[in-house]
Amino acid sequence: MGKIMECGGICAVPKGRSMIALMQQDSFDLVPLNPLERCTPLSVAAHTLYEKTRPDRLPGPGGVLDLNAAQYEQLADGRAVRVSGARFIPTPVYQIKLEGVERLGHRTIFIGGIRDPILISQIDEFLQSVREYTRNLYADLDKTDNCRLIFHVYGKNAVMGPLESASSIVHEIGIMGEVVAETQDKSHAIANNVRTSLLHMPYAGQLATTGNFASPLSPHEQDAGEVFRFSLYHLIDLEEGQEVSLFPVEHLIVEGTAQANSTETRLSDKDVEFFATTVAEPIGKPSCLTQGIRGRCVREANNRPQ
């Protein structure tokens, strides 16, 4: 239930913001706050895939949640779903996960575009010559992860990198350069040097001799702050009782005396009228019948990838 509730209304149809969960002895019920949304057995079961290595086994502190026998039942109101049958299998020793990071250094970035096709056609070689020139000036560049220059070439596999197998000839590329070094001053100096080389270095067949790089910003380089990487990602065995002593739980009862004002609302009269009178219809049919959901169908039809 925790895994579902941390994402709120994501498992509602249509996807919403808020969700209510009711815990029972051997099950829990989910119902979205918005009366126009509903949970279905499929929409809830589908959420077990979200951000998970696998949908049927969810490891966590102390053990694994086994969902192989989980059942998802639509309740009579047509909006709530009851989930049961999940089994928590404790590990022989209680384990928790430790995470930690180490500082790599300070990062400076620059972005810009290239439109000249003569340069675009040889961009890999050109960027390599920029890199080599800079390495000559800064001897520790690219020797460790604490002093690095990385180019992201948009239009040429910037998003997928080594996973990409598509390629195409583009009329324009974007380049984001990032430099990491021990101090802000050093990363800025290197980034500025690289960006200047990118702008002014010659290349074979060059006709445009005023500058190679279209920067949208000035100053051309931006401070991007400290940068870190994961250095610790480790399961640790606890001693008996530590799962309680390390993570004490305190229960508080909060009780007010004021009464809720049932007429007060942030909704307009029109919205109140709409929620009071509109009934959500099942969206299993090809045509959508309710105003709110039809609106979403029309939006989705327009946004379908071509």
Out of 174, 288, 290, 292, the residue judged to bind another protein by CB under 8 A: 288
Question: CB-based contacts of 189: which residues, under 8 Å, 6+ apart?
Answer: none
For another protein, which is the closer residue by CB, 192 or 206?
192
For another protein, which is the closer residue by CB, 161 or 241?
161
62 lies in the site for another protein, by CB under 8 A: no
Task: Report the amino acid identity of residue 275.
Answer: F
Out of 25, 136, 165, 168, the residue judged to bind another protein by CB under 8 A: 165
Out of 26, 139, 161, 256, the residue judged to bind another protein by CB under 8 A: 161
Stretch that binds another protein, among 26-34, 115-123, 262-270, 295-303 (CB under 8 A): 295-303
Using CA atoms, how far residue 257 sits from 52, 251, 253, 260, in Å, is 43, 20, 13, 10
54 lies in the site for another protein, by CB under 8 A: yes
Span 223-242, contacts to another protein by CB under 8 A: 227-230, 233
Task: Report the amino acid identity of residue 299.
Answer: R
Torsion of CA 259, 261, 265, 266, to 10 degrees: -50
Instruction: Mark residues 66-85: x for contact with another protein by CB under 8 A, - for none.
Output: ----x-x-------------
Span 113-152, contacts to another protein by CB under 8 A: 145, 148, 150, 152
256 lies in the site for another protein, by CB under 8 A: no
56 lies in the site for another protein, by CB under 8 A: yes
Q: Residue 284 CB, nearest distance to another protein (Å)?
A: 6
From the list 173, 174, 220, the residue with the least C-alpha distance to 197 is: 220
Contacting residues toward another protein, per CB under 8 A: 41-42, 45-46, 48-56, 70, 72, 104, 107, 145, 148, 150, 152, 158-166, 178, 180, 227-230, 233, 283-286, 288, 297, 300-301, 305
